[in-house]
Structure 1
């Protein structure tokens, strides 16, 4: 037993719920079991997007973020439901309570996945026995399937849990990395997106093995410190501990400025929010961080100060996103009086690679349309020049409209 729990190492589990939203709906209504099921936004509209789907639906080729019309074309018998986020949050809370009954060393990563450090749990059995117990207990008590990865670190545990779904348990040791991981394309590695994979491919790094053997100087040149980090992961190296307190951290990155003169000009205040958003975005990027909560500070000429914030479904780091969120908050809470100081802050900041994109229907739909939109913009700019399309605000109306509030047209 003790041989399975190394004295100088860790035993990490990564628990990943299978097709979580769809599984919760099937647990709530057993009549849905065995049917091709999808949870989607704008169910009544053609432009709805698949948020998640059951494995029965996946057999027909239905995938997450697929347009609803396309999914129904592939699977005419597809059962489509609107999401019930309160139901999903309740299920998630129950899952993590169950995990904490095994060890306090539990780190939630998102609503449906988390890490456990069971290095001190030898009295409960072997790592695979503990994983089997967890899997069976979640299935028996909540009727929800999960896959579990067992490994000496978080990266390998996460990778292992993805190898067999649904209801899989996979062990991935560091010595298995060359044989199991290195043959995969580099874009298949956890933590590497399409853009990073393209950068790697451009310099001849096509497999995870290529990444593991890439020169350190090249990695730093391509991605800075993150390049070194990814190379280490490709070699099976990851020293991050399981941190139960990570979800309670409320780190923030913000910028504020006192205006040259008090003003209630919509144009000027919007421009200031834009500059502040850009600074916040640059600081987030420099530290490879993303925020989950946006905040705005408004100080009026009489020094009254209002600070408002709200959680955002999807992690953000781009200046355009921050600016839009800041404008939304500012618009809601500004009373139209002269402003002396403005501030923009990103709260609940975490490392970019740890960020999880919550399955928010509307944001999925926005993301789904971004790529064709950008393609059209590039085509227009190629044909007519870059000046044909400009980012920024629409002109302020001058026909009797005061310059002290944001119009609905602007928000639209």
Structure 2
């Protein structure tokens, strides 16, 4: 199968853990991070709350019905982002090859290092280091690829460690629900379940042609994962790509109102691209070019997000800081970087269910009819 050694490290109920670190009275309590009004949405919840059926993205009003004695905490994405950076730096300093997969999970590739280290012991010591230095709980799975190590982590959480060796992979995967496979969406899960395919072992035995006929290329990917096969590499953190756009004006301009609407339009487009790729950004850069061809840039670290309103506000703040000479401008550019996977956590800790639903509804229209099928009123006359 493979002689790879991939560690998957995942924080336990990350947002809740950060809150518990601040307030020890929350230890062992059913804690829900989310909007406190009936319009709010659950961003994260403690394992104690999960026992009552509470889960992320659930409306707060439903969570209150399921767990009426839960403690609601509004949440602070800035603090969660800082804690995430803190953990990443510890892991990056001690690891040969690390990928930041999302705000609260990392992959570490130890392939070849097993000649010098007992990889399981190394992972254990690294986990202990993170917990000691951050006072935040973390679990890890170790196996031959990213898929199996991630499933292993999920099986041993919270506060767990699990090493699934090459010869154990099939026996480990076979009895598990197909829902455990990373990338198994809800619609696909229901479709396969309706066909009687509920366990990974059953899925692993489906003929490739049948899987392709049922689910297309995604079916073949899921089939490989069910068989414990995943060749996806661990992508070095520093190679995480950015996305950006720029606009050169037809004529040099000093129309700040127009440029503000242009920035809104550019960021809205980038925000859609982020969400379409299932990404969040932690850094935004605004660049301007004066009429004398002088370029000036300003960047800022932001809480992980892909929500238009947050990105637009920060982009306009940066533009106000960078545009100081009051000379004519010929170009404006926006770049979003430090990308990680994740969309479901976007600002759900705020009372923003309507805004979240609006963004999703607009994205559905864009995916069906094209990116420019729907726009904010302030950007209707902008063409980039």
Q: TM-score, normalised by structure 2?
A: 0.68
In 2, the alpha carbon distance for the partners of 1:59 and 1:199 equals: 23
Q: How many angstroms does 1:76 deviate by?
A: 2.8
Partner of 2:251: 261
Q: Is it true that 1:191 corresponds to 2:183 in the alignment?
A: yes
In 1, the alpha carbon distance for the partners of 2:248 and 2:363 equals: 36
SS of the residue aligned with 2:335?
A: strand
Residue of structure 2 aligned with 1:361, choices 347, 363, 383: 347
In 2, the alpha carbon distance for the partners of 1:155 and 1:180 equals: 12
Q: Is it true that 1:55 corresponds to 2:47 in the alignment?
A: yes
Given the superposition, is the C-alpha separation of residues 375 and 164 from structure 1 closer, same or farther in structure 2, using an over 3 Å criterion?
same
Deviations 1:36-66 (A, max 9, x none): 222334x4x4433333222222222222233
Q: Is 2:57–2:348's contact at 8 Å kept on the other side of the alignment? A: no
In 1, the alpha carbon distance for the partners of 2:136 and 2:273 equals: 41
Q: How does 1:135-214 map to 2 (within 5 A)?
A: 144-173=136-165, 176=168, 178-181=170-173, 188-194=180-186, 197=188, 209=203, 213-214=207-208
In 2, the alpha carbon distance for the partners of 1:52 and 1:238 equals: 29
SS of the residue aligned with 1:161?
A: helix
Judge which range, 65-74 or 10-19, deviates more.
Answer: 65-74
Q: How does 1:79-158 map to 2 (within 5 A)?
A: 79-83=71-75, 88=80, 92=84, 95=87, 103-119=95-111, 120-121=113-114, 125=118, 127=120, 129-134=121-126, 144-158=136-150
In 1, the alpha carbon distance for the partners of 2:3 and 2:23 equals: 43
In 2, the alpha carbon distance for the partners of 1:284 and 1:65 equals: 16
Residue of structure 2 aligned with 1:299, choices 289, 296, 304: 289
Q: Is 1:149–1:171's contact at 8 Å kept on the other side of the alignment? A: yes
Structure 2, unpaired ranges of 5+: none
Q: Is it true that 1:20 corresponds to 2:3 in the alignment?
A: no
In 2, the alpha carbon distance for the partners of 1:218 and 1:48 equals: 40
In 2, the alpha carbon distance for the partners of 1:149 and 1:339 equals: 52
Partner of 1:406: none
Given the superposition, is the C-alpha separation of residues 73 and 238 from structure 1 closer, same or farther in structure 2, using an over 3 Å criterion?
same
Structure 1, unpaired ranges of 5+: 1-5, 379-385, 397-402, 404-412
Given the superposition, is the C-alpha separation of residues 227 and 376 from structure 1 closer, same or farther in structure 2, using an over 3 Å criterion?
closer
Given the superposition, is the C-alpha separation of residues 363 and 310 from structure 1 closer, same or farther in structure 2, using an over 3 Å criterion?
farther
Partner of 2:242: 252
SS of the residue aligned with 1:162?
A: helix
Structure with bigger RCO (C-alpha 8 Å, 6+ apart): 2
In 2, the alpha carbon distance for the partners of 1:299 and 1:170 equals: 53
SS of the residue aligned with 1:31?
A: helix
In 1, the alpha carbon distance for the partners of 2:89 and 2:359 equals: 43
Q: How many angstroms does 1:141 deviate by?
A: 6.8
RMSD: 5.0
Residue of structure 1 aligned with 2:27, choices 28, 33, 43: 33
In 2, the alpha carbon distance for the partners of 1:239 and 1:347 equals: 26
Q: How many angstroms does 1:152 deviate by?
A: 1.1
Q: How does 1:307-318 map to 2 (within 5 A)?
A: 307-311=297-301, 313-314=303-304, 316=306
Structure exhibiting the larger radius of gyration computed from Cα positions: 1
Deviations 1:340-397 (A, max 9, x none): 3343434345xxxx6134845357654676458978999xxxxxxx9xxx8334379x
Q: Is it true that 1:215 corresponds to 2:205 in the alignment?
A: no
Q: How many angstroms does 1:15 deviate by?
A: 2.0
Q: Is 1:156–1:173's contact at 8 Å kept on the other side of the alignment? A: no
Q: How many angstroms does 1:294 deviate by?
A: 4.0
Q: How many angstroms does 1:161 deviate by?
A: 0.4
Q: How many angstroms does 1:157 deviate by?
A: 0.6
Deviations 1:261-308 (A, max 9, x none): 3453956984697479759967997xx684624444443545454444
Q: TM-score, normalised by structure 1?
A: 0.64
Q: Is 2:143–2:149's contact at 8 Å kept on the other side of the alignment? A: yes
